[in-house]
Structure 1
Amino acid sequence: MPRLILLACFLLVPAQAQAQSCSSSVSNVNFGNVDTLSGAAADTTATVNISCNGGPLGANFRVCLNINAGTGGATSGTRHMRNATSAALDYNLYQEAARITKWGSREQPALGNPVAVNLTALPLTTAMATRTIYARVSGSQQSAAAGLYTSSFSGSQVSFNWTTYLFTPPACGSVTQNPVRPSFMAQANVVNNCNVTAQNINFGSHGVLDAAADAAGAVGVTCTPGTTYNVGLNNGLSGTGPTARRMMLGGQAVTYGLYMDAARSQPWGGTIGTDTFAGTGAGATQNLPVYGRVPAQSTPSPGTYTDTVVVTVTY
């Protein structure tokens, strides 16, 4: 009697290979050094990396990238980074390089909508995608003090939810399952800076220099809040000291001095700690009067006498 031999082959697929899954990572939003004193906005970017495993059957994935306010919080749709004293620096995250469409989440729609990503992974393959976060520190924040500002994103602050679908991807408002929570940080270092302007001093016209002639000008100093500074005035083109500056016409000179006070008792020179003006920035222009005096002296030939004094702000 013939015998039948039954052969069976069982293929075992590891459990982990059967599961469909997605993972993500986000690079830090690092603005580096930011000069808020200029009033200009500062831009940077970060990158979101997405990877979805199709398992043995493959799948279409809808990934919804929800980013909340971060630990710095938000006000009226504007995110904040905060310094050591909890002072705020305003910024936001956007979906495109023009920085018009904000990047937010279904949980905090005032920040904007989440970004939706569709991927198709073939059986036993992984589909990958990247998205760029376009970030901007808002302009017109001259009152921000110098220092490091940060906001952290982790846990409930980030929810990259995903699901599979057959034909039509679901709206991100309904995708709440499978949260992936990568961590990243937003940070900016507001640097110390100062700007300076100067107003000329005109002593006017005089027939003879037999009495003191006074006039005044001003120096405008704008520094980042909290920045300590010193304003020095050099001795001009040919002077030998704060009260021995010289306005020249050819080889002839008119001696004059510059002072920090209306009484003309505090000469204004360029040696820090001795005869310079010391101040602290407030983010707005601080106008410093400069008092000039031409003392009585021998009168040189008629004409226009001039000098150039260099203003130096040290901070």
Structure 2
Amino acid sequence: MSAVRLIALLMVLALACHAAPARAATTCTATAPTALAFGTITNGAATATNAVTSFTITCTTAALSVLGSASVRACLKIGTGSTGSTLLPTRSMTNASADPMAFQLYTNAGRTTVWGTVPAGTPPAAVVTLSYGVPLLTGGSGAQTITVYGQVPAAQVLSAGSFASSFTAANVSLEYAYNESIIGTAQPPALCTTASGVSGHKTADSAFPFTVSANVLPQCSTYVTTDMDFGSNAGAITANLDRTSTIGLTCINRTAYSIGLDNGQSAQGTTRRMRFTAPDSSVYYIPYELYRDPARSQRWGNTLNTDTQSGTGNGAAQTLTVYGRAPPTSGAIPAQGSYNDVITVTITY
């Protein structure tokens, strides 16, 4: 009788060893990457700007057996982001005025494989395979660090401002299939997208949210000014002499600028004056004034946000007019000669 019972016990143990694989509900999660920050981008930059960020994917399986194991095939999908509509040829981030900046995300350091949303498609999602043991008492887990490689292409015509695009919800999706085995090595699923022939299949949106950012500083250049010539006058000035000159500049789009004019080299208080030095070293003056408007009612000075002229760049050359007036003279007739003054132009942006 004892021999029979022993054989029966061995048969039960053998049957247990060949039981169907356990289902321990493997779960994969990812950490949130730090922001992918490109820093300051120069309008029309001659070279591309690169940046990277990274995150970790971890898969955990509850206890299976002494010889248990699990294997996971995970696809990490990155979409267009909050401010774009295409993956190819580039993604796009925008500033507060919805001006675009092209950028791209890649799965490799050489930045040749665009990171997309289609497993084994175009552009492909990143694929990760994790295999690890799952001991009886503690369970097991596997982890891998993933790097996102970003690039802002060179030679872009950009606007000033802070640019960003957020990747959340379906834009950062994790899809994975897994196999679990109570004995031996679990085989990796052939695909991350199937629930057939595997121990399990899951998806999770907003799995690794992050933000892409860049900044374009205001920029002005190509300054051109013309002289203001009041012409010739015989004797005293008996009526207003009105003349104009111009200030030209080119500022990238959305660049707010302000132009100030100082009081010149011979001012008396706030009154601008042209000066003539006679051969005998006697000095003579003719007063004049500069204005921001054709009616010559708004004096053009150098106090920011008070009497300066403001504008916003559009990426093309812009010309501003300076309105000048030499009023009628009083007192002695000005000495015959060539009167002049030098004005310093200050451009703030």
What is the TM-score with the length of structure 1 in the denominator? Answer: 0.66
2:158 corresponds in structure 1 to 142
Task: For 2:73 and 2:264, locate their aligned partners in 1 and report how far apart those are by CA, in whole Å.
Answer: 70
Deviation at 1:133, TM superposition (A): 1.0
Decide whether aligned partners of structure 1 residues 243 and 194 sit closer, same or farther in structure 2, where only a CA change above 3 A counts: farther
| Identical columns (%) | 27
For 1:92, give the aligned amino acid: Q
Decide whether aligned partners of structure 1 residues 23 and 273 sit closer, same or farther in structure 2, where only a CA change above 3 A counts: closer
1:129 corresponds in structure 2 to 144
Structure showing greater Rg: 2
Is it true that 1:220 corresponds to 2:268 in the alignment?
A: no
Is it true that 1:178 corresponds to 2:178 in the alignment?
A: no
Q: Residue 226 of structure 2 is aligned with which of 201, 207, 213? A: 201
1:289 corresponds in structure 2 to 321
Decide whether aligned partners of structure 1 residues 264 and 94 sit closer, same or farther in structure 2, where only a CA change above 3 A counts: same
Task: For 1:156 and 1:261, locate their aligned partners in 2 and report how far apart those are by CA, in whole Å.
Answer: 52
Decide whether aligned partners of structure 1 residues 188 and 238 sit closer, same or farther in structure 2, where only a CA change above 3 A counts: farther
Q: Gapped runs of 5+ residues in structure 2? A: 14-20, 180-184
Task: For 1:102 and 1:248, locate their aligned partners in 2 and report how far apart those are by CA, in whole Å.
Answer: 69
Deviation at 1:184, TM superposition (A): 0.9
| Matches for 1:260-275 after TM superposition, within 5 Å | 260=292, 267-272=299-304, 274-275=306-307
2:309 corresponds in structure 1 to 277
1:47 corresponds in structure 2 to 54
2:18 corresponds in structure 1 to none
Deviation at 1:313, TM superposition (A): 2.0
Deviations 1:93-133 (A, max 9, x none): 222345443111117955x2112223342454433211211
For 1:116, give the aligned amino acid: V
Deviation at 1:207, TM superposition (A): 9.9
Aligned residues: 301
2:73 corresponds in structure 1 to 62
Deviations 1:33-92 (A, max 9, x none): 6567x3446654321202234765234443322212234342362334466776655433
Task: For 2:34 and 2:106, locate their aligned partners in 1 and report how far apart those are by CA, in whole Å.
Answer: 15
1:188 corresponds in structure 2 to 213
Q: Conserved in 2, the CA contact under 8 Å of 1:242 and 1:267?
A: no
What is the TM-score with the length of structure 2 in the denominator? Answer: 0.61
Q: Gapped runs of 5+ residues in structure 1? A: none
Q: Conserved in 1, the CA contact under 8 Å of 2:53 and 2:149?
A: yes
> Which region of structure 1 is more displaced relative to structure 2, 43-52 or 81-90?
81-90
Q: Residue 232 of structure 1 is aligned with which of 245, 260, 265? A: 260
Deviation at 1:237, TM superposition (A): 5.4
Decide whether aligned partners of structure 1 residues 85 and 288 sit closer, same or farther in structure 2, where only a CA change above 3 A counts: closer
Q: Conserved in 1, the CA contact under 8 Å of 2:262 and 2:343?
A: no
